[in-house]
Chains A and B, each alone.
Chain A
Amino acid sequence: MAAVNAELRFEHVSFSYGTVPALRDVSFSLAPGERAALLGRNGAGKSTVLRLVTGLVHPAEGTVSVGDWDTRGRAPESLARRVGSVFQHADQQLFARSLRDDVAFGPRALGLAAAEIARRVDTALAALELTAHAAEHPYDLPPAFRKLAALAGALALEPAVLVLDEPTAGLDRPLRARVARALADSAAAGVVVLVATHDLAFAAEVLERSLVLDRGRVAWDAPLAALLTSSERLAPLGLAPPAGAALSAALDLPGRPVRERDVAHALARVAAARGPV
């Protein structure tokens, strides 16, 4: 799906809001197709990382690059050729008269041909099962659907990097599952997926790597499953295991699965082996 594949790289990045430091010496890189969770307490710097990726702000020190593009030389509208983003409260950011027009805004701004815009919009709406709502006015739909529409708009850019801030806030289980599928499909097509979230249950379903920020520094960078199965690692980072992982640990299930369906399968296997519960 991505027009180009590109690595996302932070090298020794620091950033402050006035005198309030937000990030200190942050380094990591994400390869095409990697799906990473950006975790940490409120105020740890997660949203700042996402703003740096989209070029809304630029590093005070260090470098943020998307493939061979240094973000410093580029405005957000230029970076939008490679970076799609959905920010917190995206449901408030729609402005067109129909969902379809809203999703088409990005591809239009990229100057694409009409047929290509139509193809991308159809694909993005279908990826989030919004096709039936395409003609509706965004504000006639619940905020959760507008949030999905904002994600569709980001997908329609066919970016190399997709960054999302709390994409599941306010979404119910069926809608979360749609977002999960869309992100998995994007990653499979080589898109770098970086999701700032407190929803560890959602993260466990979709994401594989975890980057945890603590007071502006990277305090953990390793597979998400290794983090979620360890209360000793989670607690000092201000995190708590999601219920599926907690159940897995409490019942000492083999392999300590963290995805809910994997927990259910492990539970069923062990239960079958030891007779009726």
Chain B
Amino acid sequence: MARLTLERVSFWYPAMGRPALRDVSLAAAPGEVIALVGNVGAGASTLLLVAADLAPRVVGGKIEGRVNFRGRGKGEGGRGIVLPTPWTQLSGMAFTVWDEVAFGPANLGWPRERIAGAVDRSLAALDIGTLAARDPATLSGGELQRVVVAGIVAMEPALLLLDEPTAELDPEGAGLVWRLVRALAGDGCSIVVATSDLDALPEVADRVVWMEDGVVRRIGAPALLAEESVCEAGLATTVADVWRTARLGAPYPLTVAQAERRWRQ
């Protein structure tokens, strides 16, 4: 049974004539990592807001179609979203990073020991244990992004929605987030992530959804990111794009490793 299902969903922001999503259908199974790729304005962020039940409930606007979410039952395992604007997601109630990450779990009414365990695990997973006593207001942009991801992950969501979660992270931080995504999927969490880090996706995503103008153009394996039409849209991996520019012929390799194998043949 899919954890998240969108059936023929269209969505209009308030006072906008054109829909931001048009007739979008998508299902995310437990343990699945789905990557949304598209150019600016394609609708990936909007799809995440709809999946998080923030649009139209919080942002307003109008929706058609059906959105269905099933948690793990008994109030366990909700859905969590990491917005592309990490500083807007701070509680404003915490003077330390530890308390900030504990804010979500505490609001779930968990017992104290469970909260502490979840916070410590989450801080460790993002390698920010050393920031635990820092005031969130003093963090750099990238540190803040890790703290916000940690706060959402600490709530042990059944559905994790991520909007450009690595945009401000250094390569080590980005690697941590992508490994965490795979680990959470291994524990049965469904993950939908909008990202422009296309080169990471062959190792991270089970499926890739190519969006354009609010419409799902294609859904497929990460190999989609080396197809001609995707290259034309500017959404191929760097290696596929370089191979194509060099006119070395399709199918284009997706990753450096694939290119190396082709080259050595």
Chain A positions within 8 Å of B, measured between CB atoms, are: 17-18, 20, 40-43, 46-47, 88-89, 92, 142-145, 165-166, 169-175, 198, 201, 238-240, 242-244, 246-247, 250-251, 260-261, 263-265, 267-268, 271, 276-277
Given the known interface contacts A174-B39, A268-B247, the answer about A92 and B85 at a Cβ–Cβ threshold of 8 Å is: yes
- Nearest A residue to B146 via CB reads A42
Among A142, A165, A250, the residue within 8 A (CB) of B260 is A250
Given the known interface contacts A20-B138, A265-B246, the answer about A260 and B241 at a Cβ–Cβ threshold of 8 Å is: yes
A267 near B39 with CB under 8 A, answer no
User: Which of B92-100, B110-118, B167-175 has 4 or more CB atoms under 8 Å from chain A?
Assistant: B167-175
Q: How far is the CB of A273 from chain B (nearest CB, A)?
A: 13
B171 near A43 with CB under 8 A, answer no
A198 near B171 with CB under 8 A, answer yes
Q: How far is the CB of A191 from chain B (nearest CB, A)?
A: 24
**16 new A-B pairs (CB below 8 Å) besides A18-B138, A20-B138?**
A17-B138, A42-B141, A42-B173, A43-B143, A89-B87, A92-B85, A143-B84, A172-B40, A198-B168, A243-B238, A244-B242, A247-B242, A250-B259, A251-B259, A260-B245, A264-B246
Which of A89, A145, A172, A201 has the most chain B CB atoms closer than 10 A to its own CB?
A: A172
Q: How large is the interface on B (under 10, 10 to 19, 20 to 34, 35 or more residues)?
A: 35 or more
Q: Which of B108-131 contact A (CB under 8 A)?
A: none
Return chain A residues, CB-CB under 8 Å to B61: none
Among A88, A240, A268, the residue within 8 A (CB) of B141 is A88
- Nearest A residue to B130 via CB reads A43
A47 near B140 with CB under 8 A, answer yes
7 A-B interface contacts by CB (under 8 A): A172-B40, A242-B238, A243-B239, A247-B239, A251-B263, A260-B238, A268-B245
A47 near B40 with CB under 8 A, answer no
Return chain A residues, CB-CB under 8 Å to B73: none
Q: How far is the CA of A116 from the CA of B39 in the complex (A)?
A: 35
A41 near B196 with CB under 8 A, answer no
Q: How far is the CA of A42 from the CA of B167 in the complex (A)?
A: 12
A40 near B167 with CB under 8 A, answer no
A260 near B242 with CB under 8 A, answer yes
Q: How far is the CA of A43 from the CA of B131 in the complex (A)?
A: 11
Q: How far is the CA of A250 from the CA of B256 in the complex (A)?
A: 7
A240 near B246 with CB under 8 A, answer no
B196 near A172 with CB under 8 A, answer yes
B167 near A169 with CB under 8 A, answer yes
- Nearest B residue to A147 via CB reads B40
Return chain B residues, CB-CB under 8 Å to A17: 138
Q: How far is the CA of A20 from the CA of B134 in the complex (A)?
A: 10
Q: How far is the CA of A20 from the CA of B85 in the complex (A)?
A: 24
B248 near A243 with CB under 8 A, answer no
Q: How far is the CB of A20 from chain B (nearest CB, A)?
A: 6
Q: How far is the CA of A17 from the CA of B134 in the complex (A)?
A: 12
Among A41, A92, A263, the residue within 8 A (CB) of B172 is A41
A198 near B242 with CB under 8 A, answer no
Return chain B residues, CB-CB under 8 Å to A263: 242
B256 near A243 with CB under 8 A, answer yes
**Per-position binary interface string of chain B over residues 142-172, scored 1 when its CB falls under 8 Å from any chain A CB and 0 otherwise:** 1100100000000000000000100111111
Which of B241, B242, B247, B249 has the most chain A CB atoms closer than 10 A to its own CB?
A: B242
Return chain A residues, CB-CB under 8 Å to B167: 166, 169-170
Among B141, B172, B243, the residue within 8 A (CB) of A267 is B243
Among A165, A238, A264, A265, the residue within 8 A (CB) of B170 is A238
Return chain B residues, CB-CB under 8 Å to A172: 38-40, 196, 234
Return chain A residues, CB-CB under 8 Å to B74: none
Return chain A residues, CB-CB under 8 Å to B238: 201, 242-244, 247, 260
